[in-house]
């Protein structure tokens, strides 16, 4: 049941978890301290992030250390960049047009 990074990033809480983990790897409880919702809710979101390969969870004693993996963001970035290119091309065409007609 592999997860689509788009779907994983759709939720603001999950994006915030990523933000928190970008400072450093952290345990589940430490992450949860940043949020108003319950710890099991955070656990669930972490599992979703894990399934989309954005986070790896490593057992260390009774704690679980969560680490960010940014690789899946590439898919998103490439998709967006493709449209950035399209966008710039369109601007170029407009530019050409204005130069010819102007």
Q: Which is nearer to DNA, 30 or 73 (CB)?
A: 30
Closest distance of CB 44 from a copy of itself, Å: 17
Q: How far is 102 from 83, CA to CA, in rounded Å?
A: 27
Q: Which is nearer to DNA, 4 or 95 (CB)?
A: 4
Q: Report, in this order, helix, strand and coil percent for the chain, each rounded to 5.
A: 65, 15, 25
Is residue 66 within 8 Å of 25, Cβ to Cβ?
A: yes
- Using CB under 8 A as the criterion, which residues of the chain lie in contact with a copy of itself when the complex forms? 4, 6-7, 9-10, 12, 15, 18, 22, 70, 73, 76-77, 79-81, 83-84, 86-87
């Amino acid at each position: 049941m592999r997860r689509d990074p788009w779907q994983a990033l759709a939720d603001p809480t999950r994006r915030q978890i990523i933000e928190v983990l970008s400072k450093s790897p952290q345990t589940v409880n430490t992450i949860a301290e940043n949020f108003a919702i319950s710890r099991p809710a955070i656990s669930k979101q972490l599992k979703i992030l894990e399934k989309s390969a954005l986070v790896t969870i490593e057992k260390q004693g009774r704690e679980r250390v969560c680490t960010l993996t940014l690789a899946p963001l590439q898919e998103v970035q490439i998709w967006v960049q493709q449209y950035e290119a399209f966008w710039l091309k369109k601007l170029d065409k407009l530019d050409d047009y204005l130069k010819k007609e102007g």
